[in-house]
């Protein structure tokens, strides 16, 4: 479709200014996808997401008499998109933000073809269907109460999502797709053959430093306090590891906070958890930032009116940590990162005095301290760049001030920008030569966004400062793993058939369930056997020896959730008794329980005998965990002594779920109160080879279930991803005479 607009090296569309855009095949291919389906396009930063949107906008306006709405999270980013579209398009483009009066907004919408806007300005707008296409930049933000969700759900027209980093959590990515009504994902990686030629090399350097001995004294003191507080929490009957992660602590805090009838131990534990979070933050500042930010943090304790702060200030370990911090601060014992930062900046500016450098730091106090130190060097021209919010005595920057700093940075007035997370996305910052991470971040989204500030037009450099043996190393590897997982997750979601769909579409939306788990035989009089799908990691489980092959069929595959899939709605997680206790302590238990809730009938089977005493685990903590699984998660827990009994139990559940008394094949179940469009999709999904995505495509093409079923074989062949053989099978099965069992 778009190939016809290629003229030499240029993409010359009737609605684009001539000889302005050099064509890239991957951009054209992705634009074709965006014209055909509601797509989430995941593309590395600097690879031209706006150009892809531009192609889609131009072709849409050429074919349809409609308007386009292009949304972005911040005013500077909206302005950036407006400038690009206005510069290249032959259609009227305008901008609407919070500063645009409501009276002007409607006039702008009426007189313009394309509107670039912040989402909040259209949150309550009633005329969304005027826009034949709505584009959501930074689409990963479409969760919770963010305005993107409300806008997409109230529109009935086409949508397009753009992002460089949607995250690694499959459920959150699915939530974004659902919220923006997107049906497809198109992922492009830097290593893809069609992308690689346009990627500028980025040299990533890990600079490791040692934690000073003085810092280790404070660290040891604070860690003693964390061990003490954790022990108190355990004594109240709550399972928490001695070195629990931040997410595990927050999970426990949430769990206790949501308890309806709180007891005295709940309130005491919440106070202790608050203290634990505070001391963990102090440790993080010490390890990753240094003495000065830690001193600033401790000084705020005097104004903290919470019970946890009061309790901490009375503790001799905290008092000792504060005393040591103040002493080392007076002695000017800075974190070794500070010296290394200065050396790196001077090294890079010596190579090229005109280059621009951004230093990212998570904390405002640290940024202020770094600015004060670096400004003493006459060779450096340094400027702090922070968000709009005012925090205590630290005044935020208005958008006007931010724009002035960015303009000055572009013009070369400053060669070093010290920025918090505000510079990671949503601002029209120039591409820079060197990025320095003062500390790694555990978020793959933020890591990708920071990294994307360099290497856009030429080779870039990244330096990551890491303190050995601290959370710096943990965060760095966490973001690396999450980024790898993100690509794997998107790859899986973008495939037309998931692993579970390949095994007879076992997993369906909870509203409609469909299964062919029950095995059939050529002799209709024989009893039907249930099929159990077993995760391949269970191949060495002792229980497998005791399954009766005459009663059940066993199949191995990769299950994202649980160990034994025994029915459309039933999943079983098997744990050995010792592993149950270990997972309770390290936080895996409740994390796995949360995932099991994707099924309506999750079950946990504990194989063997629990021996908490030999592990020095408080009995109340074990009982509390079991009670939480049963009451909070609504997951039944069965304690079964032997592997043989486990096999018998799983077989029994499979039979119960997959066969009726008459041993008839249980093909479909539709629940009451289901919305019409889900019922329609469920009916179409009953056809051979038809999964959720293809069902939607068929319904969008033919507009009703009746027309889908009445479609000719030739017509079906024209549906994307069907083809001649599949179309023939669908047509034959619809029109074939029913033969009685």
- What architecture is the 500-668 domain classified under in CATH? 3-Layer(aba) Sandwich (3.40)
pLDDT of residue 431: 67
- What architecture is the 335-477 domain classified under in CATH? 3-Layer(aba) Sandwich (3.40)
Q: Using pLDDT thresholds of 50, 70 and 90, give the confidence band for residue 667.
A: very low
- What architecture is the 3-198 domain classified under in CATH? 3-Layer(aba) Sandwich (3.40)
Q: Above 70 in pLDDT, residue 509?
A: no
Reported as type and span, the H/E element at residue 435 is: strand 434-437
Q: Which of 196-205, 442-451, 672-681 has the highest mean pLDDT?
A: 196-205
Q: Above 60 in pLDDT, residue 526?
A: no
pLDDT of residue 592: 84
User: How many CB atoms sit inside 10 A of residue 547's CB?
Assistant: 20
The 3-state DSSP class for residue 377 equals coil
Pairing of strands 131-137, 357-360: unpaired
Where in the chain are the domains?
Answer: 3-198, 211-330, 335-477, 500-668, 675-735
Nearest to 226 by CA among 246, 243, 240, 251: 243
**Statement: 675-735 belongs to CATH 1.10.150.20:** yes
Q: What is the DSSP string of 608-668?
A: S---TGGGT--HHHHHHHHHHHHHTS---EEEE-SHHHHHHHHHHHHHHHHB-TT--B--E
pLDDT of residue 488: 73
Q: Using pLDDT thresholds of 50, 70 and 90, give the confidence band for residue 423.
A: low
State the pTM of this model: 0.58
Phi then psi dihedrals of residue 565, to 5 deg: -90, 110
Q: Using pLDDT thresholds of 50, 70 and 90, give the confidence band for residue 311.
A: very high
Provide the angle, in degrees to the nearest 10, between the axes of the packed helices 364-374 and 336-351: 60
Q: What is the DSSP string of 541-599?
A: -GGGGG--TTT-EEEEE--SS-SEE-SSSEEEEEEEHHHHHHHHHHSHHHHHHHHHTTS
Whether 144 and 657 have beta carbons less than 8 Å apart is answered as no
Instruction: For 297-381, list the strands marked E by DSSP.
Output: 357-360
- Look up residue 502 and give its two tokens: 């390949």
* Per-residue H/E/C for 558-573: CCCCCCEECCCCEEEE
Please write the tens of the pLDDT for every residue from 346-392. 999 998 888 888 899 888 888 888 998 898 888 888 988 887 766 66
Rg of the chain (C-alpha set): 30
Q: Above 50 in pLDDT, residue 716?
A: yes
Q: Using pLDDT thresholds of 50, 70 and 90, give the confidence band for residue 270.
A: very high
Q: Using pLDDT thresholds of 50, 70 and 90, give the confidence band for residue 728.
A: confident
Whether 46 and 431 have beta carbons less than 8 Å apart is answered as yes
Across residues 338-344, what is the average pLDDT?
A: 92
- Look up residue 34 and give its two tokens: 């965006």
> Is the sign of the CA dihedral 558, 564, 566, 568 positive or negative?
negative
What is the CB-side half-sphere exposure of residue 215 using CA atoms within 13 A? 27
pLDDT of residue 504: 40
Pairing of strands 10-11, 6-7: antiparallel
Pairing of strands 39-42, 158-163: parallel
Q: Using pLDDT thresholds of 50, 70 and 90, give the confidence band for residue 503.
A: very low
Sheet of 67-71, strand order: 93-96, 114-117, 67-71, 131-137, 158-163, 39-42, 184-187
pLDDT of residue 445: 67
What is the CB-side half-sphere exposure of residue 665 using CA atoms within 13 A? 13
673: left (phi over 0), alpha (psi -120 to 50) or beta: left
pLDDT of residue 344: 92
Structural class in CATH, domain 211-330: mainly alpha
Query: To the nearest whole percent, how much of the chain has pLDDT over 90?
Result: 33
| 612 alpha-carbon distance from chain centroid | 36
Fold matches, 335-477 and 500-668 = yes
Whether 173 and 493 have beta carbons less than 8 Å apart is answered as yes
Sheet of 382-385, strand order: 202-209, 460-467, 434-437, 357-360, 416-419, 382-385
Counted residue by residue, the chain has a size of 741
């Amino acid at each position: 479709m778009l190939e016809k607009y290629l003229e030499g090296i240029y993409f010359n569309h009737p609605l684009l200014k001539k000889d302005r855009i050099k064509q890239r095949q991957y951009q054209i291919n992705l634009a074709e996808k965006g014209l055909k389906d509601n797509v989430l396009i995941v593309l590395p930063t600097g690879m031209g997401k706006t150009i892809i949107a531009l192609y889609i906008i131009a072709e849409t306006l050429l074919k349809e008499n409609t308007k386009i709405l292009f949304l972005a999270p911040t005013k500077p980013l909206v302005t950036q998109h407006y400038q690009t579209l206005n510069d290249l398009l032959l259609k009227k483009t305008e901008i609407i933000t919070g500063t645009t009066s409501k009276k002007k907004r409607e006039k702008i919408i009426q007189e313009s073809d394309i509107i670039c806007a912040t989402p909040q300005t259209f949150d309550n707008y009633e005329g969304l269907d005027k826009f034949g296409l709505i584009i959501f930049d930074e689409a990963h933000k479409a969760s919770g109460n963010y305005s993107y969700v409300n806008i997409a759900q109230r529109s009935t027209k086409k949508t397009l999502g753009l992002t460089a980093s949607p995250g690694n959590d499959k459920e959150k990515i699915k939530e974004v797709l659902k919220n923006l009504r997107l049906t497809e994902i198109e992922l492009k990686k830097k290593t893809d053959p069609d992308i690689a030629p346009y990627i500028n090399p980025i040299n990533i350097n890990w600079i490791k430093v040692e934690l000073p001995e003085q810092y280790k004294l404070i660290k040891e003191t604070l860690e003693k306090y964390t061990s003490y507080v954790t022990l108190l929490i355990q004594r109240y009957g709550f399972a928490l590891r001695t070195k629990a992660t931040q997410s595990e602590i927050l999970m426990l805090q949430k769990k206790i906070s949501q308890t309806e009838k709180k007891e005295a131990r709940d309130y005491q534990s919440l106070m202790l958890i608050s203290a634990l979070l505070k001391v963990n933050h102090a440790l993080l500042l010490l390890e990753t930032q240094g003495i000065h930010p830690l001193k600033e943090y401790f000084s705020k304790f005097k104004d903290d009116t919470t019970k946890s702060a009061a309790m901490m200030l009375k503790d001799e370990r905290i008092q000792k940590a504060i005393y040591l911090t103040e002493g080392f601060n007076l002695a000017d014992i800075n974190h070794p990162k500070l010296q290394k930062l200065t050396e790196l900046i001077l090294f890079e500016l010596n190579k090229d005095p005109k280059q621009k450098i951004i230093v990212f730091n998570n904390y405002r106090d640290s940024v202020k301290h770094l600015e004060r130190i670096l400004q003493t060097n006459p060779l450096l021209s340094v400027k702090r760049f922070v968000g709009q919010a005012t925090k205590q005595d630290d005044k935020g920057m208005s958008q006007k001030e931010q724009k002035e700093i960015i303009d000055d940075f572009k013009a070369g007035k400053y060669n070093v920008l010290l920025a918090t997370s505000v510079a990671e996305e949503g601002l029209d910052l120039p591409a820079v030569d060197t990025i320095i991470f003062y500390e790694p971040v555990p978020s793959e989204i933020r890591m990708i966004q920071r990294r994307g500030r360099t290497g856009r037009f030429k080779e870039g450099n990244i330096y990551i400062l890491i303190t050995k043996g601290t959370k710096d190393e943990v965060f760095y590897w966490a973001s690396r793993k999450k980024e790898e997982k993100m690509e794997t997750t998107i790859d899986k979601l973008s495939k037309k058939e998931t692993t579970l769909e390949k095994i007879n579409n076992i997993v369906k939306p909870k509203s409609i369930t469909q299964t062919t788990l029950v095995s059939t035989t050529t002799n209709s009089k024989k009893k039907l056997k249930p099929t159990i799908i077993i995760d391949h990691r269970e191949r060495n489980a002792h229980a497998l020896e005791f399954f009766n092959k005459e009663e059940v069929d066993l199949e191995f595959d990769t299950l994202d959730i649980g160990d034994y899939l025994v029915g459309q709605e039933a999943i079983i997680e098997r744990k050995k008794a010792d592993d149950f206790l270990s997972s309770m302590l390290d936080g895996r238990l409740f994390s796995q329980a949360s995932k099991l809730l994707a099924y309506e009938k999750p079950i946990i089977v504990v194989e063997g005998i629990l021996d908490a005493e030999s592990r020095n685990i408080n009995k109340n903590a074990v009982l509390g965990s079991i009670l939480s699984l049963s009451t909070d998660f609504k997951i039944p827990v069965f304690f079964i002594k032997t592997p043989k009994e486990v096999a018998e139990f799983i077989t029994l559940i499979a039979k119960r779920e997959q066969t009726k008394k008459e041993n008839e094949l249980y093909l479909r179940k539709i629940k009451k109160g289901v919305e019409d469009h889900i019922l329609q999709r469920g009916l179409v999904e009953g056809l051979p080879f038809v999964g959720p995505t293809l069902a939607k495509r068929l319904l969008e093409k033919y507009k009703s279930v009746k027309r889908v079923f009445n479609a000719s074989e030739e017509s079906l062949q024209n549906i994307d991803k069907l083809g001649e053989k599949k179309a023939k099978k669908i047509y034959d099965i619809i029109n074939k005479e029913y033969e009685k069992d």
